[in-house]
Amino acid sequence: MNVLVIDNIDSFVYNLVQYLGEEGAKPIVFDNRASMREISSAVRKNRVERIVISPGPKRPEEAGVSNEVIRRFGPKIPILGVCLGHECIGYVYGAKIRQAKTLKHGKTSMISHCCGGIFTGLPNPFEAVRYHSLVLDDMSMPECLRVCAISNDDKEVMAVEHKKHPVTGVQFHPESIMTKEGKRVIRNFLNLPF
């Protein structure tokens, strides 16, 4: 399975690439400065079946081609957004982005989830590591997005999924060794029948 990975210029992206490869996927990496023409060509030529939007250091408005990739391919190709990628999903579909109640940098939280989708088979709650200062504002969640995970300590939105499109975002970092169930999240994303 070919997986397009949009690199939002972050060191964590290659952990994601490694996990994808370990699960049998073939990652094709473009940084977020690539053009939509290059991305669309790669999607067609490589018959891309999944897209991952990586973490990154900026705000969704500064995430290069990431938002357009979500708009263009979200209705037809399953997308997983991680951290900044998750925030981009919220931004594209109309959620407001706000400062987190507490800055989280390498901190773990217990995450409670809805038990389905990418969380199938995971303990509930499970421990995940967080590296972020921004979150999706749960009070501005658009009708098209469903909150499917929250942090137990500060009640922030930790995952959303689109109600009609195969688009899911996670605020935590499944690619970190501190998220013990992270590989299973990636495996579920690759194996779910969207």
Asked if pLDDT for residue 194 goes beyond 80, the answer is: no
Per-position b or e across 54-93, b if 16+ CB within 10 A of its CB: bbbebebeebbbbbbbbebbbeebbbbbbbbbbbbbbbbb
The first and second tokens of residue 149, run together, are 């995970």
Per-residue pLDDT at 131: 87
Is 175 annotated as catalytic? yes
Average pLDDT over residues 28-54: 98
Confidence check: pLDDT of 33 > 80: yes
Interval 128-166: pLDDT, tens: 999 899 999 999 999 999 999 999 999 999 999 999 999
- Structural domain harbouring 73: 2-191
Tell me whether residue 83 is one of the annotated catalytic residues.
Answer: yes
pLDDT tier, 61 (very low <50, low <70, confident <90, very high otherwise): very high
Out of 86, 132, 162, 173, the active site residue is: 173
* Full-model pTM: 0.96
Looking at 68, 161, 175, 181, which residue is catalytic? Answer: 175
CATH number at residue 146: 3.40.50.880
Tens-place pLDDT, residues 69-108: 999 999 999 999 999 999 999 999 999 999 998 888 888 9
Count how many domains the chain has. 1
Residues 68, 83, 87, 132: which is the catalytic one?
83
